[in-house]
Chain A
Amino acid sequence: MRTSFFILLLSIFAGSAHGQLVFDQPEQSFKAKPEQESIVAKYRFTNSGKESVKIGNVQTSCGCTVASLKKTDYAPGESGEIEAKFTFGGRVGRQEKAILVNTSETKDKPIVLRLVVDIEDQISIQPESVFWQVGEQPDPKKIEVTVADNAPVKILSVVSDNPSIKAELSEVKPGKEYEIQITPTDVSRQAGATLLIRTNYPQQNPQTRYAYARIK
């Protein structure tokens, strides 16, 4: 009985004697500056086991994150690094991306690395689009534009690309809150407009943001 119990214990703990990757910081957090378009995280690891480890593949949970590593085989005690580049591509707010590392030791249960990035949106547009149904009253609708605290951004103007859908900008709280009032002059048939919201930031190449109006 004792022998079988010992064999059972041995089989349970045998895995720890094999090669295994230990990551210094499996979860990394960043705060992205508004002008940044991407971020690169480096996940350093060491093979702390007694056998070499082969990294089969590194997968990411989003096409926006690309992970790479210089080599795949790591001897006992050897260190390496996985580099993950996350391209924001219009994402704002808190972003969590996973990087899955499959090794010769973790075939069905990959090591999960996490990348958390807080991307500040300097300008929030709510809602991004407004609608009227054909035939309904052409009552004005509002879009609120809010500038984040301490953001050096001003909304300069709003222009509608369709003269039959008018847009008027007003400042609710100086430099912080704006309101766009959209009024269609004709709702008897389908129409649409793109509203160009012009800002003064960044100075070299000021951004234009968009909102939309549709009569459906």
Chain B
Amino acid sequence: MKPVRQAVLILLVALIPAGVTAVVHPRRPPWSGETLAPGEKKLKTVLSWGSNALWVDARSRPAYEAEHVPGALLLNLEEWDSLFPRFLDQWSPERKVVVYCDSKSCEMSHEVAARLERSGFSSVYVLKGGWEEWKKAAK
């Protein structure tokens, strides 16, 4: 049993610096899993922008027509040429563009945000958690 006791002792000793690192290290990994990818914003942040946020729904037309964030514009890559002019009419330089799609795992919001950035728009963000997050908050 001596080796087992030694192994447990080593583990316990190693736990002390590990614990200190987890609490005070400047580049410690987050515990909550609430990390934001570049350009992502939390719903709480976006809501604080009020009417300054221009909501863009990057999902398919049927999904948008079924339900969407109030006031959101439909803008997806599939119908870009027909939808983009309406976006341009609604956009103004002081507004922040917030793009969303279904959930955390969908990519369409990032794709639409990237295309908007390539088109020269600077304040473009992606809603973390997308429509799923909005629905959860609305309940």
Contact = CB atoms under 8 A, between A and B. Distances in A.
A89 B88 contact: no
Nearest to A212: B88
A133 B118 contact: no
Given A63-B60, A192-B85, A212-B88, A128 B108 contact: no
Contacts of A216: 91-93
B132 interface: no
Interface string B67-88: 0000000001110110011001
A174 interface: no
B119 interface: yes
* Residue in A62, A63, A87, A127 with the greatest tally of chain B CB atoms within 10 Å: A63
B111 A128 contact: no
B77 A91 contact: yes
Interface string A31-43: 0000000000000
A106 interface: no
A64 B108 CA distance: 9
A63 B108 contact: yes
Given A61-B105, A210-B81, A133 B88 contact: no
A163 interface: no
A214 B111 CA distance: 23
Given A90-B77, A90-B78, A216-B92, A128 B119 contact: yes
Contacts of B81: 90, 210
Contacts of A126: 118
B77 to A, nearest CB: 4
A61 B107 contact: yes
26 contacts: A1-B1, A1-B4, A61-B107, A62-B108, A63-B59, A63-B60, A63-B63, A63-B102, A63-B106, A63-B108, A89-B76, A89-B78, A90-B77, A90-B78, A90-B81, A91-B77, A127-B118, A127-B119, A128-B119, A130-B120, A192-B89, A194-B85, A212-B84, A212-B85, A212-B88, A216-B93
Given A63-B60, A63-B102, A90-B77, 15 more contacts: A1-B4, A61-B106, A61-B107, A63-B63, A63-B108, A64-B108, A90-B78, A91-B77, A128-B118, A128-B120, A129-B119, A129-B120, A130-B120, A192-B88, A210-B84
Interface of A: 1, 61-64, 87, 89-91, 97, 126-131, 133, 192, 194, 210, 212, 214, 216
